[in-house]
Structure 1
Amino acid sequence: MNGGLRMTGGVAHAPSRATRMVILGVIGLVFAVPIVAMVEFTLRKGLEGGYDAARWIALFQNGFTGVYKTVFVGLSNSVTLAVGTVALVLLLLVPTMLLVHIRFPQFRRVLELVCILPISIPAIVLVVGLAPVYAVIARMFGSGVWTLAFAYGITVLPFAYRAIQSNLDGVDVKTLSEAARTLGAGWGTVLLRVLVPNLRRGILAGAFIAVAVVLGEFTIASLLNRINLQTALVVVSKTDPYTAVILSLLALSFAFLLLLLIGRLGASPRRSRSPRSSKGTL
């Protein structure tokens, strides 16, 4: 054991159980401390001190009416944008990456540069460049909130690309596609039934990151005058900061459940393990 790593023949392998527990504990604190602070803030009584759940009870009793209704509009818009962004990015990115990997490997660096480039551009600069484009989109397709999916697709492109590429590097897609084609499969069958199942982890990771980025995005929606979850929370915080934090906690819980649901849907189905009766032979 050396520095928390198991050594085999002088090569460091996976960290020990104690090291993993320490790392997970530190990461858990990073997430838990802000959430606990938010809960404590919403339970404060005020100058008289003490804690109660009056604000939570009042919010649910009033039925989220008035200005709080904006949060549900923003939440529904963000969920719609998350679905649209994931579909747009994956439907365009995955086939393109596979095509470059199989047929045009010389363009891999060019594709990587194009996909990684948006991460180096600040969101406000991106909005300035997209504003004239969105003026044309508004004239052609209207100014609905769903049009933000195009901008969000550019924003999440670097993260989705790296997630899928890391999985793609570990799969011999060229051999798999050639074997499937030799057996008479068409390109649609090769893509959907051979390659995509082998890239499930990378595609799922890209979807995770895309949903997280869309649900937490504020700058683009604010500057383009669209209502999403984050802009709606800012509107509520101007009138009632306590309720805005409560709604943020509820939105955070919803996002966690949504990501958990995506993980369940994308997980490989469990194989039924029925005991097989075997007869001994002499």
Structure 2
Amino acid sequence: MSAPVRMRGVHPGPGPVARWVIVGVIGLLFLVPIAAMVEFTLRRGLDGGYDLSRWAAVFGGGLTGDYKPILTGLTNSLVLAVVTVIVMLVLLVPTMVLVRIRFPSLQRALEFVCLLPITIPAIVLVVGLAPVYSVVARIFGSGVWPLAFAYGVIVLPYAYRAIQANLQAVDVVTLSEAARSLGAGWLTILLRVVVPNIRRGLLAAAFISVAVVLGEYTIAALLNRVNLQTALVVVSKADPFVSIIFALLALAFAFVLLLVIGVVGGRRPAQKASS
């Protein structure tokens, strides 16, 4: 076989040493503040030294005592995360697939609408959402789960990019035409043809949405709803160490989500053995 031809004017990219240096610098940018947070939670106070007493208090029943608001906020945030992911997937995925297959001329307009929320500060969104939620509260009650509609707006840019990157790598038009020639309906094409081929993008969009919801504070605070971040702010006024512990746990949870994306998204569906 002939050697690969190198294109003129195209840089081959950084070498192995440069890659490790870049990874090391980026790793330090993340590890230094995380290490400082861990060190802060292990301090014993004015006596000096370090111990695990605060971590033991959290995992040894602290959530049912003085830190019960955190348990309430965590429960509310998990409910919001689930509802937000459902709303996002039900509304966004069929719309993106339909535009890709039937209305490709609307691709730019859809991208503009989906990316618009990232350019609007959360405080500005709340000003517009406040009168809307006064009506929503009369219809659905003052529970926390209707806040998922607002969260569906703020996760839209991240979810769109994750799904769009996977959708562009799949020839959806050809797959849908082949399925229609075999008599498949729209719902069958969406669920049995398109969704399995963009599984990695859907997982990435779902997990990124969960991470955004668990870290959101502004909308929940200004709309007087209790979630994980607002509960941490309340508890941190009495014990700042506990809020840092739960911030570290949230970072660990986000890291696990990234691992799940890589493992589950990279796994290929098993093929049946030919008879």
Please name the residue that 1:66 is paired with: 65
Per-residue CA deviation, residues 44-72 of structure 1 (Å, 9 max, x unaligned), is 12233222222223344454233311111
Matched, 1:237 2:236: yes
1:75 equivalent in structure 2? 74
Q: Name the aligned partner's letter for residue 6 of structure 2.
A: T
Letter in 2 for 1:106: S
Paired residue type of 2:251: L
What's the offset of the Cα at 1:105? 1.4
Change over 3 Å in CA distance of 1:202–1:59 after alignment to 2: closer
Query: Which is worse superposed, 230-239 or 190-199?
Result: 190-199
Percent sequence identity over aligned pairs: 67
Shift of 1:87: 1.2
Change (3 A) 1:18 1:189: farther
Aligned to 1:135: 134
2:205 matched to which residue of 1?
206
**1:112 positional shift:** 1.3
- Structure 1 residues 207-216 or 132-141, which shifts more? 207-216
Q: CA contact under 8 A between 1:204 and 1:263: conserved in structure 2?
A: no
Answer yes or no: is the 8 Å Cα contact 2:159–2:209 preserved in 1. yes
- 2:6 is matched with which residue? 8
Match of 2:67, SS state, is helix
Structure 1: gaps spanning 5 or more residues? 1-6, 275-282
**Superimposed CA distance per residue, residues 213-271 of structure 1 (whole angstroms, 9 cap, x where no aligned partner):** 11110000000111111111001100011122123223333444455456555553465
- Measured after TM superposition, the shift of residue 130 of structure 1 is 0.5
CA distance in 1, matches of 2:264, 2:80: 19
Conserved 8 A contact 1:215-1:255 = no
- The corresponding residue for 2:177 is 178
Which residue of structure 2 lines up, in the alignment, with residue 279 of structure 1?
none
Partner of 1:3: none
The aligned counterpart of 1:277 is none
SS at match of 2:11: strand
Deviates more, 1:157-166 or 1:215-224: 157-166
- Measured in 1, the distance between the counterparts of 2:128 and 2:36 equals 38
Cα distance in structure 1, aligned partners of 2:167 and 2:61? 50
After superposing the two structures, state which structure 1 stretch, 243-252 or 67-76, moved more: 243-252
Counterpart in the other structure of 1:194: 193
More deviation, 198-207/94-103: 198-207
CA contact (8 A) 1:159 1:209 kept: yes
Q: 2:200·2:261 contact (CA, 8 Å) conserved in 1?
A: no
The CA deviation at 1:18 is 3.1
Whole-angstrom distance in 2 between the partners of 1:8 and 1:15: 15
Alignment of 1:32-181 (within 5 A): 32-181=31-180
Partner Cα separation in structure 2 for residue 257 and residue 62 of structure 1: 24
State the shift of 1:121 in Å: 1.0
What is the root-mean-square deviation in Å for CA atoms of aligned residues?
A: 2.4
2:44 aligned counterpart, secondary structure: coil
Given the two structures, how large is their TM-score scaled by the length of structure 2?
0.88
Offset of residue 13 of structure 1: 4.5
- Distance of 2:261 and 2:141 partners within structure 1: 30
Distance of 1:148 and 1:259 partners within structure 2: 25
Any unmatched runs of 5+ in structure 2?
none
**Are the counterparts in 2 of residues 118 and 158 from structure 1 also a CA contact under 8 Å?**
yes
Q: Residue 38 of structure 1: CA displacement?
A: 0.8
Q: Hey, what's the Cα distance between the residues in 2 that align with 1:36 and 1:248?
A: 13
Q: Which amino acid aligns with 2:141?
A: G
Change (3 A) 1:165 1:61: closer
Task: Quote the offset at 1:17 in angstroms.
Answer: 3.4
Q: Contact 1:218/1:231 (CA < 8 Å) preserved in 2? A: yes
Q: Given residue 81 of structure 2, which amino acid in structure 1 is its aligned partner?
A: A
Number of equivalenced pairs? 268
Deviation at 1:31, TM superposition (A): 2.2
| TM-score for both structures, normalised by structure 1 | 0.86
